[in-house]
Every structure is written in C-alpha cells, then in structure tokens.
A = this chain, B = another copy of it.
Amino acid sequence: MAADIEQGRQKLAWAREHMPVHAALRERLGRSRPLAGITLGVCSHVEAKTGVFVETLAAAGAEVVFTGSEPGSSQDDVVAALNEQDGITGYARRGVSEEELEALHLQALDHAPRFILDDAAELTARLVHQRPALLDDFIGMCEQTTTGVQRLQAMARADALPFPAYAVNNTPMKHEFDNIHGTGESSLTNLLLTTNLLLAGKKVVVAGFGDCGLGIAGKARALGARVAITEIEPRQALRAHMAGFEVMPMLEAAAWGEIFITTTGNRDVIRAEHFEAMADGALLANAGHFNVEIDAEALAGLSVEPPHEARPGIMEYRLADGRRLHLVCEGRLVNLATPTAMGHPAEVMDQTFAMQIVAACHLVERAAGLEPGVHPVPDQVDREVAELKLETLGIGLDTLTESQQRFLDAWRDDQIKGA
C-alpha cells in the first residue's frame, strides 16, 4: 500500500507548529548555512519530529540522508513526505526485519555521509564496522542517547573510534528533559493505552534510576502507583530511597510487582530467575533502547505453549504452573513500538534535536582541532540552546549586578561581611 503522503504532510505541519526552537533555528541557520556542502547521515525513529529536524538540517545547507534506528519505529507517510523535499533523501520503513534495517542503513551509507547525527550509535557503528573506507573523509558525529554514548565509549576503549564524537545525550539540555520528561510521559501513556489498565494503586517496578528511570518512577508515583526501584549503583539507590521509593534487588521486586519497566541500557535485567518469582498477570515493558533488557528467549523457554497475542501489542506467555506473564511489544521501546506510539512529545524533541543541530554545527567548525574520541559538548553550546528555548517560552531571567559579580569573587571575611 502506498504511503499516505498527505497524511505525512499533515503530521509534519503539526510537529512544525509545536517545535518553536526549530523554527528559530531554521530562520537563523537558513541565513548562515553553516552545513552547506556537507552530506549528513541522520539515523533516528523517523516520524514527524524527526522530519522537522531533517528539514532544519537541510535548511542549514546540508545534503541530508536519513534512515530509521529501529525496526518498528518509522512511519511510512512521514518518510514519503520528506522524500519529496529538496536536499533530503531517506531510507526507512515501518516493520522491517533486522536484516532489512541493515540494508536500509547501508543504502544511506552509500551516500557517503561525512557527518552523522545518530541514535544509539546505530549508523556510526555500521560505518566503522562495515564501511571503513568512508572513514578517511569523515568529520565526526553527534549522539543523542545514553545507550549510544555507552557504545561509543566502548568503541573508543576498543580503538574503534577514529574521529571526534559529541556526547549530546550527556548535556543537561538533553538528558534532563528528554529522558526525564519525554521518556517519562510517553512510556507511561503508551503503556496505559496499550493495556487499558489503571496506574493508581498498582505496584510498579522500575529497573534503573537514571534519568529515564527517575522520570518514569516519579510520574508513575505521581499518578498513584506504588513504585519500587532496582539499582546496581549505590548513589542512585540512595537517591531513590530519599525520594521515597522502595529500593530492593530485582529478585525481591519480582515477587512484589505487578508492572515492570526496564530503563537500564543493559541486557537480561529481567531474566529466568525473576520470571519464576512473578505473580500471575505480571506485565513486562521496556523503555531502554534495545529490546534485550527483558530476556524474552528465557521467557519463551519457561513457557508451556507458544506465546499468543492477548491484545494488540501484548504477548501472553503461559508458564507450567498456569501463571501468565505479559510482554509488551516484544520488549521493544514501549513509547515507540506500541500500536498507539508516536515517540516523544514534540516539545521534547524540539529541544533534543536542537541540541543535536547546534552541537553538529559547532563540531563541524572545530573538528580539525579535536582528538578522536568521545567529547563532552561545550557547556556554552548547551547554554545557548537553553537561552533559545527560554526565549520561545517568554521566560525572563535575572542578571547579576556588578556588586553581585564582585561578591562571587570575594573570599576574605571583611570582603564578604563588610560588603
């Protein structure tokens, strides 16, 4: 069936209206065109917000080639509505297999991008591993996920990162907003609509208390759930404890919880020993990038019959003693893979993608002076995006007076107290 291009255009129009930071950037970068002449590879969940991101990169002068970052998260109508625009070429399709996704990625790499804006370092890893010939002219990349930054650091440790990369995910403007609020809200809303269940009164286990876990846990509790946290890091565990959450190991949590959401970026966080401990009806969902956090293979191994669809987006596994465990979207990202999914809210991606764009412009300019490896985005770049965002919100700041500035430089008792 041909993609509904008109519907794709409508989606882009709605996203454009709700991404005011991009509107400001399109205007600003459309004049200065800092990416002119550069072929950019973009890898992400291709839906409307990504589309506006791609459009803005094109407006900044780049030749953009985009592809999807996950088998189930791209939307064909948006892909079509982007492909009709100048300076933009895309290879993405909803519901592809892992092999088809690989083929789409390689098609994108055939355009020989010299810079990549990546999600989970998917396209970058393939470039290094499968298309090393492109590395000669390659400038660098920007990465927007926790998982991707972890992966780039593993690449650097393995001497497999011969160019500079900006850890955009690690900027305050990204992870404190996208992860906490974007992942937080969209994971819960999608989970609730896919299951038609109520959060109030439920026992929810959140694996991991990083920004994603914190966002989900805090918002779930705010809606009336009782929430337990599992952690491997002692400071994270204490943060959760002092914020009023239960903290316990997963084996204990498995027996306690009714809904489980993983946010760790690691594999097999919920595995056979945990499934064994769970109550009938337990619901399992993942909000981390890869679908490896819940060990679905082990779950199938424990089941006495093949899993069957209990509801669109939910597979039911029946264990030997009759207990039923429900896995949401095969453990794929619950805010991107459910039947109702549209990924992060527009305002969040407006901010995250703006960080990617401004960071990319900055890295393109100074790449020559940077060593290969993973670099933090300079704080000034982060601050600049924050100021842009505040402007679109109409929020005013105070500024330091001269005497306040002096006070910050004072240290002697007579300077401070006599001040």
Contact = CB atoms under 8 A, between A and B. Distances in A.
A226 interface: yes
A167 to B, nearest CB: 14
Interface residues of A, number: 116
Interface string A187-219: 011101100111111000000000000000001
A237 B185 CA distance: 21
A301 interface: no
A386 B236 CA distance: 9
Contacts of A247: 395
A17 B14 CA distance: 38
A221 B198 contact: no
A411 B121 contact: yes
Contacts of A155: 411
A281 B16 CA distance: 12
Contacts of A396: 248-249, 252
A387 B238 CA distance: 9
Nearest to A241: B201
A201 B347 contact: yes
Given A249-B397, A403-B268, A407-B266, A200 B234 contact: no
A224 B239 contact: no
A10 B344 CA distance: 29
Contact of A200 (B121, B188, B242, B310): B242
Given A192-B185, A239-B176, A383-B234, A266 B197 contact: no
Contacts of A188: 189
A267 B189 contact: no
Contacts of A162: none
B267 A244 contact: no
Interface stretch (A109-117, A133-141, A146-154): A146-154
A12 B11 CA distance: 33
A251 to B, nearest CB: 8
Of the candidates A173, A221, A395, A408, the one having the most CB atoms from chain B within 10 angstroms of its own CB is A395
A135 to B, nearest CB: 15
A30 interface: no
A121 B192 CA distance: 29
Given A266-B400, A268-B401, A237 B121 contact: no
A412 to B, nearest CB: 5
Given A14-B310, A201-B244, 16 more contacts: A10-B311, A14-B196, A48-B196, A152-B411, A154-B411, A180-B242, A181-B224, A181-B242, A184-B200, A186-B192, A200-B244, A222-B223, A224-B244, A238-B395, A247-B395, A250-B398
21 contacts: A14-B311, A18-B197, A122-B413, A151-B411, A172-B239, A181-B198, A184-B200, A193-B342, A198-B345, A201-B241, A201-B244, A224-B244, A226-B244, A226-B245, A232-B397, A234-B397, A235-B383, A241-B393, A267-B403, A268-B404, A292-B416
